[in-house]
Chains A and B, each alone.
Chain A
Amino acid sequence: DTAVSQTPKYLVTQMGNDKSIKCEQNLGHDTMYWYKQDSKKFLKIMFSYNNKELIINETVPNRFSPKSPDKAHLNLHINSLELGDSAVYFCASSQSFSDTQYFGPGTRLTVL
């Protein structure tokens, strides 16, 4: 069983489009995260939700909007995609915000 899953695994799209990435965890964790990993492998947090409440909102353009319909899901919607949005996006979860984080397999986004 996959603990943290993401769909799609690959996403190729044109500049200006709107796209969504979905994340689900079956670990019963309360806290979920979105990270962005750039071409140099640098992993940086974007958002964190605890029990569906936004906890961390790093300096991320307004075009990025996370949505947590329930504790097990955290989706990421991106409007008006730009070339610089090309990266691998990782979802993660932890039991609470003070516990270790477990990562999903990533979604490789390419904006043309």
Chain B
Amino acid sequence: QKEVEQDPGPLSVPEGAIVSLNCTYSNSAFQYFMWYRQYSRKGPELLMYTYSSGNKEDGRFTAQVDKSSKYISLFIRDSQPSDSATYLCAMSAGGATNKLIFGTGTLLAVQP
């Protein structure tokens, strides 16, 4: 079993839809949770960064962490064609090495 599981998609939605992206994990030591967006042939760029459980909102993006269920989510409101990309969840236990463990990414296509 992988430490971090993520549905690879692809996920296709119409413009304006609410998108829900999810990851589950098995390591209860994870404390730091991130969502990265990766456009085709580009490097991942950080979208959201959350410590421990709770919600964090930034514009159209909301990140949720439920440590009791080992489940994290990213919601995108009013999705736009420019949101079409691969979304990677990542997490770490922090500490001396801060090794990031990534999910396999979900490919999202927002249709105009």
Main secondary structure of the interface of B (DSSP, over half): loop
A97's nearest neighbour on chain B, judged by CB, is B98
Assess whether A103 is in contact with B43, with CB atoms less than 8 Å apart.
Answer: yes
Assess whether B43 is in contact with A43, with CB atoms less than 8 Å apart.
Answer: no
Assess whether B42 is in contact with A105, with CB atoms less than 8 Å apart.
Answer: yes
Assess whether B97 is in contact with A97, with CB atoms less than 8 Å apart.
Answer: yes
Within 8 A of B (CB), among A79-112: 90, 94, 97-106, 108
- Assembly CA distance A44 to B3 (angstroms): 12
A41's nearest neighbour on chain B, judged by CB, is B105
Assess whether B102 is in contact with A43, with CB atoms less than 8 Å apart.
Answer: yes
Q: Which residues on B sit within 8 Å (CB–CB) of A48? A: 97-99
Interface size on B, residues (CB 8 A): 23
Assess whether B100 is in contact with A45, with CB atoms less than 8 Å apart.
Answer: yes
- Assembly CA distance A43 to B102 (angstroms): 6
- B8, B41, B86, B97 — most chain A CB neighbours (10 Å): B97
Assess whether B44 is in contact with A41, with CB atoms less than 8 Å apart.
Answer: no
- Assembly CA distance A37 to B24 (angstroms): 20
User: Chain A: residues with CB nearer than 8 A to chain B?
Assistant: 4, 31, 40-45, 48, 55-56, 90, 94, 97-106, 108
